[in-house]
Amino acid sequence: MDVDADVDAVADELYGLVPARFTEVRDERAAEARKAGRAAAARAIAGLRRPTRAAFVSNLLVRRRPKEVAALLELGEALRQAHRSLDGTQLKDLSHQRHVVVAALARAARQLAEEEGQAVSEGVAREVEQTLHAVLADPDAAERWSSGCLSTALTPPVGFTGLPTSAPARPRPAVTDAGRPTKPKPSREAGQRRARLEQARRTAEETRLEATAREAELRRAEQEQRDHDRMLAEAGSRVAELERQLREARTGQSEARRAAAGATDRVRDAARAAKAAHRRADAAADRLAELPGVEE
């Protein structure tokens, strides 16, 4: 394995880990490369930067949602093409689609991270959205993002909004040698059909992304319900056990009270009997003393 392939394989592994494990595993892989005599690879691996929280969330989205990633890359290419051609109508439609898709993917990324136990603050969520906007605007950013190995969030280029800054110039009709404008070849009906088809495709894609986000929310809610149901069942079991112990303790308390009352009665009876015995003994002693002595 050459150096680049070696480093790429390790990077792919590392940037799939939660940030807390990144440094430890990176150092282990660098040490393994040095031990194997791959000094250049070891230096490159050791230089890999731990991802920020926003970069980790962005990488997680790329790795877990490949279909949505492909759709976003296609949308970015369409947006950039519309900018180049100054197609105002298409830019307006694509810009609306861009906002819907970015919002849906940002929600999906946040849910994926939280399922991994990684909290996502509002600031991190905004960085993830900015990364997605950068992907739509810049092909280099798109390539870096789609690798799933970002170390920091991306920033869209200044001025990219997905809309033309001014209305594109209306193209002048072609002129024949006779000086008469030529008739456009595509029919109006065909153009309308293409527009309806494109709109239907965008609507279907937006709906699919929205459904994906809702499914993720449903899975999260179902998991929360299962967790709460389990906690409720465990709490019910503990309550039942404590109630059983309480009943046993109360039964033991009642038995102890009865035993204590019986012991008290026995002590009282024994004290009376002892007192009576003492009186009889004293009386017997008095009678004995009154008897005449026996002479020998």
Residue 177 lies in a domain: no
Is residue 32 within a helix (H) or strand (E), and if so which, with residue range? helix 19-35
Last residue of some domain: 148, 166, 184? Answer: 166
How many angstroms separate the CA atoms of 172 and 269, rounded? 127
Residue 178 lies in a domain: no
pLDDT, tens only, 70-92: 999 998 888 888 777 766 666 67
Residue 270 lies in a domain: yes
Angstrom CA distances, 279 to 31, 265, 273, 283, 284, stand at 99, 21, 10, 6, 9
How many angstroms separate the CA atoms of 18 and 40, rounded? 26
Task: Please determine, for residue 147, whether its predicted confidence score (pLDDT) is greater than 90.
Answer: yes
3-state helix, strand, coil in the chain (%, to 5): 75, 0, 25
Share of the chain above pLDDT 70, in %: 72
Last residue of some domain: 102, 136, 166? Answer: 166
Domain residue limits at 23: 3-46
Residue 58 lies in a domain: yes
pTM value is: 0.52
Same structural domain, 153 and 127:
yes
Task: Please determine, for residue 204, whether its predicted confidence score (pLDDT) is greater than 60.
Answer: no
Residue 211 lies in a domain: no
Domain count, the chain: 3
Same structural domain, 38 and 108:
no
For tokens 């409720």, the residue is 232
Task: Please determine, for residue 16, whether its predicted confidence score (pLDDT) is greater than 90.
Answer: yes
Same structural domain, 13 and 105:
no
